[in-house]
Amino acid sequence: KVTSEKVLNTKVMGHRGAALLAPENTLSSIRAAADAGVTWVEIDVYLIAEGGLVIFHDDTLDRCTNGEGVTRDAKLNYIIGLDAGAKFSADFTGEKVPTLLEALECIQSLGLGLNLEIKHDSADVGTIVPAVMDMLKNHWIDNDKLMISSFNLAALQMSYEIDNERHLAQLYEDIPANWQEELESIKAYSLNCDYTRLTQVQAKAVKAAGYKLLCYTANDPQAVESHWTWGMDAVITDDPTKFAFLLVP
């Protein structure tokens, strides 16, 4: 497995940028995370019509933008014309849905690490994975500042086939019985899971097997206090300011 110690140099990763501080998965959200002192952000990449790649979480457009319809069917010109800020707060009116390329450039210009989550819902793994890997190959410079994650094992297996040097993270809501076999099949770097469903026994087994253990989405430090003692390496949080005590100034 890929075990480089210098990769994950933080205990706090911003979720969708910093989703409680600015509209999720926007450039403002990424900047807000950096302003709060984080060195890594998680964002979601979504395949839209005609092979476009944007930073977006939902299968439909209405929760986060002034648009409507199914995200996968939307054309790039339509999506980038939407307002992705006003529903969060009027202060962010005019904020856009970033393309993957815009996000990669923004994150690197801020010197941050990136956990890029490949969204597979209703998208074709065979289309999105090669497109994302190609974009990373051409536009992401430091492999030690990059983690690729997905709930979809097939997506991670395909990314491993395309480039076996990437740091891959298998996402789970509930950790299945055969997690070790799944992680081994992609030479995973990390297991990223829902902290509310993780048990101490599972956490210790993941650490004993040599993987990083990241937990989402923790917005209350007290709720994950015990998880640190179980071996959790980092939290993925909507509000990094709550975890400022874990951030190196």
Binding site for ligand G3P (CB under 6 A): 15, 42, 44, 57, 117, 149, 171, 192, 216, 236
DSSP characters over 82-101: S-SSTTT-GGGTT--PPBHH
**CB-side neighbour CA atoms (13 Å) of 238:** 10
Region 21-50 residues binding Mg ion, contact defined as CB under 5 A:
44
**Per CB under 5 A, 239 contacts Mg ion:** no
Residue number with CB closer to ligand G3P (26 or 192): 192
Find, among 151, 147, 141, the residue nearest to 168 by Cα: 147
Task: Kindly state the smallest distance separating residue 35's Cβ from Mg ion, in Å.
Answer: 20
Residue 216 binds which of Mg ion, ligand G3P, none (CB < 5-8 A, kind-dependent):
ligand G3P
Residue number with CB closer to ligand G3P (75 or 173): 173
C-alpha separations of 220 from 101, 181, 206, 243 in Å: 32, 32, 23, 8
C-alpha separations of 2 from 39, 112, 183 in Å: 20, 20, 11
With CB atoms as reference, the residue minimizing the distance to Mg ion is 117
Task: State how beta strands 234-237 and 146-150 pair.
Answer: unpaired
Task: Kindly state the smallest distance separating residue 117's Cβ from Mg ion, in Å.
Answer: 4
Task: Kindly state the smallest distance separating residue 44's Cβ from Mg ion, in Å.
Answer: 4
Task: Kindly state the smallest distance separating residue 151's Cβ from ligand G3P, in Å.
Answer: 7
* CA 133 centroid distance within chain: 15
Alpha carbon distance, N-terminus to C-terminus of the chain: 31
Residue number with CB closer to ligand G3P (93 or 219): 219
* CA 26 centroid distance within chain: 13
Q: Quick one: which of 24, 95, 117, 233 contacts Mg ion (CB under 5 A)?
A: 117
The site for Mg ion (CB under 5 A) is made up of 44, 117
